[in-house]
Amino acid sequence: MVSEEKKIRIAVLASGSGTNLEAIARAAESGEIPVEISLVLSDNPQAYALVRAEKHNIPTKCFLISDFPSREAFDKAIADELSAAGVELVVLAGYMKLVGGEILSRFKNRIMNIHPALLPSFPGTHGVRDALEYGVKVSGVTVHFVDEGLDTGPIILQEAVPVYDGDDEETLHQRIHQVEYRLYPLAIKLFAQGRLKVEGGRVRIIPAEDE
């Protein structure tokens, strides 16, 4: 239990099903990670992630890009919402927009993303499919800080996942998801404990005091 640890406030940005959000919410509720999810934001009003958030009594907000005159205005509105909620870490969990502008500058090295492949291989929207089509025998999961590129920021954690002969995109993604549900809460916990140091393009993990 980490109940005596100071909790940090995080926001989760999600566009889709939100199974990673679910894993993070459960880890927060059980005290496994010292965080409070202050807010779930989406760019998609149909995202099931919003339903999951409500089930966990987490406030939600939806930002439609069509409601804003420009991409800059959209990003600024999200950044303002995150700041107003006192968010210390922004967690992208299946968020289908590139995070840019004001969000990136205000939350430098405080935005994380999870990608369903071993970066820098197979960046982009179809990491699982691309790895499968290429024919790799090992793919995996990457948690990284977000920079201005597409899936290019400093890598926090990675774990390999085997690809089997009979796999299709769905079976491989299921196996990858199981690793994601463990790796993402761990990366968030390391951040909350102040144990991630970004040094150039690398992230150093400071050992726990009792390790």
| Active-site amino acid positions | 115
Q: At 52, is the secondary structure helix, strand, or coil?
A: helix
CB 180 within 8 A of CB 131: no
**Is 20 among the residues that bind ligand GRF (CB under 6 A)?**
yes
Site residues for ligand GRF, 51-110, by CB under 6 A, read 93-94
- Closest approach, Cβ 102 to ligand GRF, in A, equals 22
Cβ of residue 211: shortest distance to ligand GRF, in angstroms? 28
The stretch near ligand GRF (CB under 6 A) out of 54-62, 74-82, 112-120, 197-205 is 112-120
Distances (CA, A) of 174 to 108, 164, 181: 31, 12, 11
Give the footprint of ligand GRF on residues 158-197 (CB under 6 A). 177, 180
Q: Which is nearer to ligand GRF, 16 or 154 (CB)?
A: 16
- In DSSP terms, 40 is beta-bridged to 12, 60
Question: What is the end-to-end Cα distance of the chain in Å, rounded?
Answer: 16
Q: Which is nearer to ligand GRF, 76 or 177 (CB)?
A: 177
Interface with ligand GRF: number of residues (CB under 6 A): 13
The verdict on 116 binding ligand GRF (CB under 6 A) reads: yes
Mind giving me the DSSP string for 137-183? SEEEEEEEE--SSSS-SPEEEEEEEE--TT--HHHHHHHHHHHHHHH
Nearer to ligand GRF, 5 or 19 (CB): 19
Closer CB to ligand GRF, 116 or 185, in the complex: 116
Interacting residue with ligand GRF among 7, 19, 98, 154 (CB under 6 A): 19
CB 163 within 8 A of CB 134: no
Tell me the residue type at 54.
E
- Residue 4 neighbours by CB under 8 Å, 6+ apart: none
What letters, b where the CB count within 10 A reaches 16 and e where it falls short, cover 130-151?
bbbeeebeebbbbbbbbbeeeb
Report the nearest approach of ligand GRF to the CB of residue 20 (Å): 3
Instruction: For ligand GRF, give the closer residue by CB, 19 or 60.
Output: 19
Contacting residues toward ligand GRF, per CB under 6 A: 14, 16-20, 93-94, 114-116, 177, 180
